[in-house]
Amino acid sequence: MLTLNQATNGKELASKAVKALIDEALLTPKPGLVDAGNSGSHSDMSIDLMLQSAQALETTFREIANVSYLHPVNQELREKIAFIGRQGEKEMLLATGGVNTHKGAIWAIGLLTSARAVFPEENDPFKIMETAGEIASFKDRYEPALKSHGQAVKKKYRIMSAKDEAQHGFPTIRNAGLPALLRARKAGKSEQKARIESLLALMASVDDTCILHRGKWSDLLEIKRLAREFLLWDGFETNIGRKTFARLTEYCESRRLSPGGSADLLAATLFLIS
């Protein structure tokens, strides 16, 4: 039986998690990603599918929050939320007809949801990320042996995976995504522009396994370069910034490359500050 505080906390965190996924999906424009305007580099996805997937994960995030409420940070917690996360992946695939829309986001936001439920009075995003990193660092003895695309790319290129990112306390959000969002807000830019700059800051920093799964190392380097150039020229505030964004979009979509890892981290960033 859940306590009233536990149930309320779980409902609130799940609502924030789903809203973060919806806000990321609706953010427009985004290079190579599904948005309200088009499907980017994805022939198997649409904005309606992304929204349907996000809504289907409400129960997953609520259950993660409920089991994590005031729970000690230990292996037992890690394995409890991992089990719920794997069930959530099944719910996602059921809702999308087998399309992997949010697997990476379930991992990242699931951990952050757990961290926020462990310390429900903690609002500092950096401390929340630190706690999430501690949770992620415990071994999951029931993790399936089947390797993901991200793990295969990690082995090939010797880069950080989504798992490593979490275990290190989300350094890319800490050092790129969140600071870019806060800088843009402080500069008086619209929330849409602030979020796009946060996404591009993540794209400029992340060794995105989604890009490397479909593309080459040279593709990743060029996408990072164009993302940095967009930010250097003050984003959509300048003509050269707008042209750079168009070049980045064309580069991604003509090669069917999608910065899905960066999109997951943007959703996680939005969840952290909600």
Give the tokens for residue 127. Answer: 């401390």
Cα–Cα distance, 112 to 54 (Å, whole number): 16
pLDDT band for 95, please (50, 70, 90 cuts).
Answer: very high
Domain chopping of the chain, boundaries: 4-138+155-272
What pLDDT was estimated at residue 220? 98
Instruction: For 21-62, write each residue's pLDDT tens digit.
Output: 999 999 999 999 999 999 999 999 999 999 999 999 999 999
Could you tell me what percent of the chain has a pLDDT over 90? 93
Cα–Cα distance, 230 to 241 (Å, whole number): 5
Cα–Cα distance, 9 to 134 (Å, whole number): 21
Q: What is the mean pLDDT of residues 106-113?
A: 98
Q: Is the full-model pTM beyond 0.85?
A: yes
Residue 241 has pLDDT above 80, yes or no: yes
What pLDDT was estimated at residue 155? 83
Q: What is the mean pLDDT of residues 66-75?
A: 98
Cα–Cα distance, 7 to 190 (Å, whole number): 34
How many secondary structure helices (H) and strands (E) does the chain include?
Answer: 15, 0
* Contacting residues for 129 by C-beta, under 8 A, at least 6 apart: 112, 115, 169, 170, 173, 174, 272
**DSSP characters for 110-142?**
HHHHHHHHHSTT---HHHHHHHHHHHHTS--TT
Could you tell me what percent of the chain has a pLDDT over 70? 99
Instruction: For 117-155, write each residue's pLDDT tens digit.
Output: 999 999 999 999 999 999 999 999 988 876 677 778 888
Query: What is Dmax (Cα atoms) for the chain?
Result: 58
Instruction: For 189-221, write each residue's pLDDT tens digit.
Output: 999 999 999 999 999 999 999 999 999 999 999
Residue 115 in contact with residue 268, Cβ under 8 Å? no
Cα–Cα distance, 112 to 272 (Å, whole number): 8
